[in-house]
């Protein structure tokens, strides 16, 4: 395993000592309270988990603008996206030194963390646009990341935090949610030193499965960390519990024992393409992974990014030595009818489009909702069955609603 980003040891911000945590919860009841955004709550969970090592809390304006422009803080730490706690109005916090952050994603809005307030700063409209353009490469509000980023307010609360729980992720996904330090511990127990990480927000079809195996073989790795996003997604994406079940079934049946570790992290998807790919690399390094698989249109959405922009950024914009983790670059993978196996499409120049088994997302959803089996070359039947049951439930609910 490699060392964390920016420090020799991992420094998660979750308060692990129970007595100290209880004392802070008691203190929090006396503090001004702020209902934060889902994005800020996700940031707090990632900080608490050690994924955002070595950050100590939410960034101030100078760091946010510097990170947006140059991918480094004012002190020179390499970092790809601003980590913010932004609200619409902080006038009630004037003069407050410490505040309690309330979780927007759990009924009753319990206390998620305590923040020491170092600065309360307003971002101008021009500064919000500047950050949006740099992070997402677009100002189009149809882009789900841009829309989310610009809908929560423009008043930033900066300062270190002490995280008191992991929101809903620990209770809703007890078998899957893991902190960066827990993942390091599990990989150590397995004896893994060289580890490839696979990022996903979707179920894994045959192509994804084989891509992980290609990376394992290509890097002569000990294991693959299948690391799924458990937070909020855009409408139409498959819910985390369904995806989790489908991935577990695939690994159980089709991966050799002790070669894949199924885990998840608590964060809302940014859909920021290249910048998000770099963030993915940062926090997989904090998990101890040596390689991250970066495929076609990694972390993208729609047609906002070129198919290989997420690979290009590592060559063009990530300074040499800024990260220890390495990138396993992958093309689109699909089942070759000619060869009878899944291949990277750029490795078979003699193939035409009709030589591959490929289905669009729309076609897959339509077939599953209608109860039609997917081709076994495209999806493992046991995985397809789990997805079919989900889509049929959705179709029935929609029909009932109409």
State the catalytic residues.
201-202
d(CA 61, CA 349): 49
List C-alpha distances in Å: 197 to 229, 262, 288, 372. 13, 10, 10, 32
List C-alpha distances in Å: 376 to 193, 245, 379. 34, 18, 5
Q: Which strand (E) or helix (H) includes residue 163? A: strand 155-163
Tell me whether the omega of the peptide bond preceding residue 54 falls within 30 degrees of 0, making it cis: yes
Contact between residue 179 and residue 283 where contact means Cβ atoms under 8 Å apart: no
**DSSP letter string over 108-133?**
T--EEEEEE-SEEEEPPHHHHHHHHH
Bridge-based pairing state of the strands 341-344 and 333-336: antiparallel
Torsion sign across C-alpha atoms 218, 221, 224, 225:
negative
């Amino acid at each position: 395993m490699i060392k964390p980003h920016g420090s020799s040891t991992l420094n998660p911000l979750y308060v692990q000592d129970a007595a100290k945590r209880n004392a802070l919860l008691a203190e929090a009841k006396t503090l001004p309270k702020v209902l934060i955004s889902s994005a800020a709550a996700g940031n707090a969970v990632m900080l608490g988990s050690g994924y955002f090592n070595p950050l100590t809390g939410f960034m101030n304006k100078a760091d946010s603008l510097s990170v947006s422009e140059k991918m480094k803080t004012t002190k020179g730490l390499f970092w790809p996206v601003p980590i913010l706690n932004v609200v619409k109005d902080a006038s009630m916090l004037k003069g407050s030194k410490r505040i309690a952050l309330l979780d927007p994603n759990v009924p009753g809005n319990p206390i998620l963390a305590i923040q020491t307030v170092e600065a309360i700063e307003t971002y101008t409209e021009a500064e919000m646009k500047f950050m949006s353009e740099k992070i997402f490469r677009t100002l189009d509000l149809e882009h789900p990341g841009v829309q989310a980023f610009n809908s929560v307010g423009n008043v930033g609360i900066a300062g270190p935090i002490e995280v008191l729980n992991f929101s809903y992720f620990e209770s809703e996904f007890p078998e899957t949610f893991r902190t960066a330090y827990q993942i390091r511990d599990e990989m150590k127990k397995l004896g893994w030193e060289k580890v490839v990480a696979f990022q996903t927000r979707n179920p894994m079809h045959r192509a994804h499965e084989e891509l992980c195996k290609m990376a394992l073989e290509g890097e002569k790795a000990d294991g693959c960390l299948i690391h799924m996003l458990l937070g909020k997604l855009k409408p139409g994406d498959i819910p985390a519990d369904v995806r989790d079940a489908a991935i577990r079934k695939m690994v159980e049946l089709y991966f050799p024992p002790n070669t894949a570790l199924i885990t998840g992290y608590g964060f809302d998807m940014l859909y920021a393409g290249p910048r998000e790919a770099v963030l993915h690399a940062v926090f997989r390094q904090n998990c101890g992974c040596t390689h991250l698989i970066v495929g076609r249109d990694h972390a993208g959405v729609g047609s906002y990014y070129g198919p290989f922009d997420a690979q290009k950024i590592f060559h063009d914009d990530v300074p040499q030595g800024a990260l220890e983790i390495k990138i396993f670059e992958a093309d689109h993978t699909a089942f070759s009818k000619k060869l009878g196996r899944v291949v990277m499409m750029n490795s078979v120049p003699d193939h035409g489009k009709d030589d591959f088994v490929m289905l669009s997302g729309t076609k897959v959803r339509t077939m599953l909702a209608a109860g039609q089996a997917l081709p076994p070359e495209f999806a493992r039947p046991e995985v397809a069955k789990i997805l079919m049951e989900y889509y049929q439930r959705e179709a029935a609910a929609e029909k009932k609603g109409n």
